[in-house]
Amino acid sequence: MQITLLNYTELKTCAHAIRTCWQSFDKSDEGGERDKELIYRVGNKFKHASTLEHLHYTFYIQGISRATLQELARHRIASLSVKSTRYTLKELKNAESFSPLNAENLKRAEEFLVFTYNEAVDKASVMALENLRLLLQENISNDLVKFAMPESYKTELTWSINARSLQNFLSLRSSKSALWEIRNLAFALFEALPEEHRFVFEECMEGGEKNRIKLTLQERDKFKIYLEEFVKQVDRCAKIGNIKEFKIKDLESNFFDLLKGKYEVKLDVGSGRLKNDVCGIAFTRVDILGNHYANTNKPTNRQGIYIYFDYRYKDKEYYIYLGCGNETKKCKAKSFIESKNYFEGEESLDIDKILNKFLELAEEYNKIPKEDFLIL
């Protein structure tokens, strides 16, 4: 399989389309960091994905099977120009026989076929290839002969698609449940994208990117502001002895929105009165919530696996770690986390350190497969 990116739309075109709505052209930096932040925020975060349709990509895809071509055709909003069997089957007509089925002929057949590396299937494909070759030599028209083509026969195409449709394709076809060949194609297409465009698609990819926490400089500043607000509210409630004035729901909502809905956020400050000595924030992956998962439907601080910011307000110290509640049920993820030493303490409160450590732990957290959180 070989992927070549032939052409693509510059980011500034997409940014211009978005800025048309507000007539904010004067704020553009011609596809730079400011425009990239705008594209991500409007197209990905707020899901106004029609704006992403102004980004187009044209790929030359070589060496995929006709079976994968059929799957590719299910993705409607794309343009395909495919190698024609009517005009190109002469490539096989002039080939030498693939019989007998020995190592040399199997290797020759790979010029025309995508092998599955299942011996029985691959041998059957070569036999079908040889039958096709013999039919061609009988001067039967290519339009009829192609009905005898094996699904494994290689083809190539020029494929054009907009960013919104490409997001859908990558989301579905990078999944572990996708057929191996089209899954390989999904990853190859992503790798062929320009480096500066990949931020549009990273969250669509299976294997951590989907849940990956990426914060712009502005969002990093907001995260620190929300942490500082949490600390201030804890300190204020510690003085008055109760939590009546603690704006719990507002802070939880602010963190949830900032983390793009990927993490459920639970403030742990007590009920009625402030908790003794320790208050905290639990950040839990949304994709591992459910009856069959260790975190159950709703995250709690006693049951579940989460990143926990632990503020010891009497000593003005914090801990931030990836850990488990005391009542967490047995699962592979729990055993894995307990085998690691993610617990780290600091003597003094440093918001920048908290943020950097949170992002580091989030990377580790998101690498753990979803199925590892299923209750054993």
Which SS3 state, helix, strand or coil, does residue 280 take?
strand
Is this prediction's pTM over 0.75? Answer: no
Which SS3 state, helix, strand or coil, does residue 77 take?
coil
- DSSP of 104-132: HHHHHHTTTB---S-HHHHHHHHHHHHHH
Cβ-count burial 132-158 (b if 16+ within 10 Å, e if not): bbebbeeeeebeebbeebbebbbbbbb
User: Comparing 13-17, 59-63, 205-209, which segment has the lowest mean pLDDT?
Assistant: 205-209
* pLDDT confidence band for 124 (50 / 70 / 90): very high
What mean pLDDT value characterizes the chain? 87
Quick one: pLDDT at residue 208? 46
Establish whether 312 is a catalytic residue. no
* pLDDT confidence band for 209 (50 / 70 / 90): low
Average pLDDT value for residue range 284-297: 84
Judged on CB neighbours under 10 Å (0-12, 13-18, 19+), 361 is buried
Average pLDDT value for residue range 163-173: 94
Q: Which residues contact 235 (CB under 8 A, 6 or more apart)?
A: 313
Tell me the percentage of the chain whose pLDDT exceeds 70. 94
* pLDDT confidence band for 192 (50 / 70 / 90): very high
Average pLDDT value for residue range 342-350: 55
Residues 325, 300 contacting (CB under 8 angstroms)? yes
Which SS3 state, helix, strand or coil, does residue 147 take?
helix
Minimal CA–CA distance to 313: which of 225, 220, 222, 240?
Answer: 240
- Asked, as a colleague might, if the bond just before 299 is cis with ω within 30 of 0, I would say no
* pLDDT confidence band for 342 (50 / 70 / 90): low
* pLDDT confidence band for 130 (50 / 70 / 90): very high
Q: Which residues contact 165 (CB under 8 A, 6 or more apart)?
A: 53, 75, 76, 77, 78
Helix axes 180-192, 163-173, angle to 10 degrees: 140
Residues 170, 205 contacting (CB under 8 angstroms)? yes
Question: What's the token pair of residue 328?
Answer: 């967490």
User: Comparing 129-133, 135-139, 198-202, 260-264, which segment has the lowest mean pLDDT?
Assistant: 260-264
Average pLDDT value for residue range 327-354: 74
* pLDDT confidence band for 298 (50 / 70 / 90): confident
Catalytic residue among 19, 173, 183, 285: 173
